[in-house]
Chains A and B, each alone.
Chain A
Amino acid sequence: MEPFTFFVILFGSSVVAGALGALLGLGGGVIIVPVLTLMAGLNIHYAIGASIVSVIATSSGAAATYVKDKITNLRLGMFLEMATTTGAVVGAWVAGVLPGRALSVVFGLVLAHAAWTMYRSREEDVPTGVKGSALATRLRLHGAYYDPALDRKVDYQITGVPQGFGMMWIAGLISGLLGIGSGVFKVIAMDTMMRAPIKVSTTTSNFMIGVTAAASAGIYFLRGDIHPFIAAPVVLGILAGTMAGTHLLLRLRGAAIRKVFLVVLVIIALQMVWRGIAGTVR
């Protein structure tokens, strides 16, 4: 294949991955990595390196939106970034030691889990009767926001700080290891363990993703995993695709086609597990 043709194909697939990622609420990185490794036959280390910089681009580009809506809990985000960044550094280091096959298996399992979580995404409810922990009070993590759907101000309290912090470290580890935003794990930490309302968890998670990704991207860059020929079209493609996909998101929310995509994604994820075990990925 002509290098130029390959370059254009990389760009095109990244636009689609970005749009689809925004549509499914998963992010473009998690989709482009299987595309690059399974379809283009690229070394998974390069796929992950290209993905991690795309994650920075999409999350930082959207950061203003997350602050403007005033749902993001800035203190909670900054506090938990101590966990995600240290986890990400460890993850990026481990990724350099692990063979591509092992990365493929772990990636497949994480992607399957994330797609499945989005598939059975539940109602956006507000937890009631949560008694904030003393530690959360001392860290001033409790907050409030105005919910337009409920037309009232929602006050919430935070609990489970150590557990949430630990889970965030794991979320950072996964982000650094696989070059993805790992938003699903960040949301689990804040929503399930720290009992923040789902809206707060989601927006604060999005807010944190760029900083977490930067912690591992530096290591990937120095290691030579961010290949100019691959990362350049992928970053620009995913950035363009995500911008387009965010507009589509509002129209397709809850639509049946979204569920179909997610089921397809689970199948692709299992393919990555299988190819890793069979040893046919680089």
Chain B
Amino acid sequence: MSEGFPISVTGLNHWFGMGEARKQAIHGVNLQVERGSLTVLMGPSGSGKTTVLTLMGCLRDVQDGSVQLLGHELKGADRALNEALRRRLGFIFQAHNLHGSLTALQNVLMGLQVHGLTDRKAQQDAARHALSLVGLADRMEYLPANLSGGQKQRVAVARALVGNPDVIFADEPTAALDSESGMTVVKMLKKLGQLRGTTTVMVTHDNRILELADRIVTLEDGRIVRDTAS
């Protein structure tokens, strides 16, 4: 691992489009994220925070510069490495992206079965526990269509956390939640960092979360303009 950082970004540049439409979205970003920390990426729309998040989460190919994730260089990484690394990550999307045909419990189980179906009973128990933690013990057999927006987001959070990921990438995870539920989720992420050393990188516009962040990184026009430790 690059000097002990689970995430280390050096000289990262990224472009979108081709030919004359090619536009640089990220300009020489450097960032090291400490293990177990809760880092918040802020900035106006189009500032590049989501692009940085997807590059760090090996969801997008690194074009220029270096991104080290959990000790592996992502530039030039093949599909197998990307898949292996993704299995060590947890993603919480702004749109919950739950599978509509699966119950809440089955959606959470998908977060475990990516590691193989070793002990079915243990996986069921873990999934039930994760749903209980987000307050959905009584909604386990519900299909997403029968859950409210907040409940769906909590299922997505349980799905991201159930596999005990090393790093969690979250994009506006509290957008669909009321203030109390939102704070509960962020506190849970913070607690995971303290207990398990889970690193969280979160994109948010929610100012209420900032007080819980260990570090706030602000981007504008694809550049880091402010980097504040709490």
Our verdict on whether A and B bind, yes or no, reads no
**Which residues of A are in contact with B by a Cβ distance under 8 Å?**
none
**Which residues of B are in contact with A by a Cβ distance under 8 Å?**
none
